[in-house]
Every structure is written in C-alpha cells, then in structure tokens.
Structure 1
C-alpha cells in the first residue's frame, strides 16, 4: 500500500536540525566514518613524503619542509587523533559483534569513551614521540 505521509516526515536521521536531535551514538558513528576517510589523506601524505625521498634531495626538501611545518604538524596531530578514534570505533564494533553493550546507555558511554580515550592517547603519543 502507498505511504500517503511520505512528504510529511524526515527522510533520513542524518537531517540534523529541527527533524533530528543529535545523539552520542549517531555522532560517534559519523565521526568513525569521517576519521576513516581522513586517514586516507594522512596515508597519501606519508606516501608522498616517501616518494619525494626516492625522487631527489631538492624535491624531498620541499615535501619534508611542508610536512614538518606548523601546518604539517597540525595535520599529523589530527591524523594521530583520527587514528586513535577510528581504532576505538573498531574495538567498539568488536564488542557489538559479540552481542554485548548494545543498549543505548552503554553505547553512549562507549561513544564518550572513544572521544576521551582518543584525546588522551593522542596527547600521550605526542609527548612520547
């Protein structure tokens, strides 16, 4: 049977704003996807640096300067945060795949744990390296 109310309801939960209130579970899911794509950009920068090292000293000096500049430092710092956050998301999915922690309250706590844990681990990584 045709759905006569199709135009009167939101089409997607990702229509943030007046139709959908953001929750920690949805935000953490969206951030896992964003950090996964951001890690691709960090991988390309790393490969670019390695290819520049194989190309020649002049080109390597330029790429090395770019990656070790303040802009490169910010990009790499955020990439480390994305790596830790994405890692936490993978661990969370392993727990969910085992059929545990599927209730909303625990899922929200896991989302906060991912956010706080990624930040702490990024700071530790930056201090150690």
Structure 2
C-alpha cells in the first residue's frame, strides 16, 4: 500500500452525519420494509394454521396473544403504518412537491406522529372491543 492511498479520504459514514428526522425516516423506511416481510410470514403462518385445524390455530393464537406476541404484532402494526405513510410521502415527492427543507421536515414529523397515532388507535380499538 502506498503512502498516497493511506491519505485518501474515506467516504462519509453515519458517524459523521447529524441525525435529523429526515435521516431517521429514510433509514426506518428501509427497516420497516424488511420487517413487513417478516410480519407477512407470521400472517401466513396464522392463516395456514386456521386452514389446518382447530388445534394448530389454537397453538398459533396462544403464541400470538402472549405478551411477547402482542409486542411483535404491535411493532408489525407500527411498521405497516410507518411504511405506508412514508410511501405516501415519497409519492408526493414523485409529483414534485415537498422538497423544501421545512416541508421535508414537516412531512417527516407527520409520518412519525401519524404512524404512532394510527398504531395506538388500532390497538385501542382492538382492546376496547375485546380483541374479537
């Protein structure tokens, strides 16, 4: 290795960037996309157990309604709403709107707040109706 290559600057990495809500939304959009794949597998398992019979369905239902299962399902619900709202945000950008810094930050905060509000609303409705 020559002395020149040792002094060549490296590409910027996450440690040097200042974290902003727009950076959070960008990274989280990718993470929630991957989480939705895993959640879809869980949904498929649930549907397959329902088609298999009462014993299989009762087993899967017991796992999914355990405290850990409810936390996973809550996270899946949030990932779904976050990805949906951030996808809408990207559609608006594709139409050529919302690129100014204030608009971009405002829409990012809207995605964060909206995804939390929708998730809490869905789960409040589930618990108020007894989960049926």
Unaligned runs of 5+ in 1: none
Structure 2 equivalent of residue 52 of structure 1: 49
Contiguous gaps of at least 5 residues in structure 2: 127-132
Q: Which residue of 2 aligns with 1:113?
A: 110
Q: 1:66 aligns with which of 63, 66, 73?
A: 63
Using the TM superposition, give the Cα deviation of residue 62 of structure 1 relative to its aligned residue in structure 2, in angstroms.
Answer: 1.7
Cα deviation digits, residues 53-96 of structure 1 (max 9, x gap): 22233332221111111111111111111111111111101110
TM-score normalised by structure 1 residue count: 0.85
TM-score normalised to structure 2 length: 0.83
In the superposition, relative to structure 1, how do residues 6 and 128 fare at CA in structure 2: closer, same or farther (>3 Å)?
farther
Give 2:83's aligned residue.
86
Residue 16 of structure 1 pairs with residue 14 of structure 2: yes
| RMSD across aligned positions (CA) | 2.0
Segments ≥4 residues shifted beyond 4 Å = none
Measured in 2, the distance between the counterparts of 1:56 and 1:80 equals 26
Structure 1 residues 97-108: aligned runs within 5 Å: 97-108=94-105
